[in-house]
Amino acid sequence: MTAETQQDPLLSALQQYLRETDFAHLTDADQPDLTALFSDLAGLKTEVKTESRQFKAALDALSLAVETLKTDNQALAGELAAAAERLQRQRREVERAMLLELVDIYDRLSEGYKALQNYRPLDSLFNHSKKQDVRFIGSVAQGQEITLKRLEQQLQRRRVYAVDCIGKPFDAHTMTTIAVGNDPRLDNGIVLEELRKGFLFGDQLLRLAEVKVNKL
């Protein structure tokens, strides 16, 4: 109910009271000036109407401002969520690229370590330095082994683990076949050899393992 609708019953009640009240016993000085009174009441009614309209306009403007602010907040929240998602995706891509580089370094160190393990000095050549060569190669191999273990620990701290392949059935989700073999002692599709390690990053594939599969 607006202020205007509240004033109309009051004015009607006042007018009825003035009509029904006997002012004859009052002196001329005591009798109210009805013309001035009704003029003041009319002015008051007009003022109330004006203030009511102004108040309604202010409420409408405030409501519009609130709706605009709400819309802007929703748009800002959407933009922030999209920006956070893009940032998270970029971070995953950068982390994935970094881990692939670490895995590539791991491959090279592994190949070097295997070569050092398989080293056998020639008996006919450089026989005078054979013992020194063996000790030197052994110390280098030991250093390579320590480096490999530390690198494996670094990868594991980042939730990177090698795919377990050898002796397992071929899994197209984590492996790719680049060679086949024939071993009648094993079932068809069993991985015979791991030619390049595959890795998992958490529950996602980081790199496929390259394997040799049994084919009967």
By mean pLDDT, which of 50-59, 168-177, 180-189, 192-201 is the weakest? Answer: 50-59
Instruction: Summarize the confidence of residues 116-144 as an average pLDDT.
Output: 73
Instruction: Summarize the confidence of residues 112-132 as an average pLDDT.
Output: 70
Contact present, 163 and 174 (Cβ < 8 Å)? yes
C-alpha span between 72 and 185 (Å, rounded): 70
- pLDDT band at residue 104, thresholds of 50, 70 and 90? very high
DSSP label at residue 108: H
Contact present, 214 and 183 (Cβ < 8 Å)? yes
Report residue 5 as tokens: 């609708």
User: Which pLDDT does position 117 carry in this prediction?
Assistant: 81
Unique residue bearing structure tokens 């969520």: 81
Residue 13 one-letter amino acid? A
- pLDDT band at residue 185, thresholds of 50, 70 and 90? very high
> Which residues are CB-neighbours of 109 under 8 A, at least 6 positions away?
144, 147, 148, 151
- pLDDT band at residue 45, thresholds of 50, 70 and 90? confident
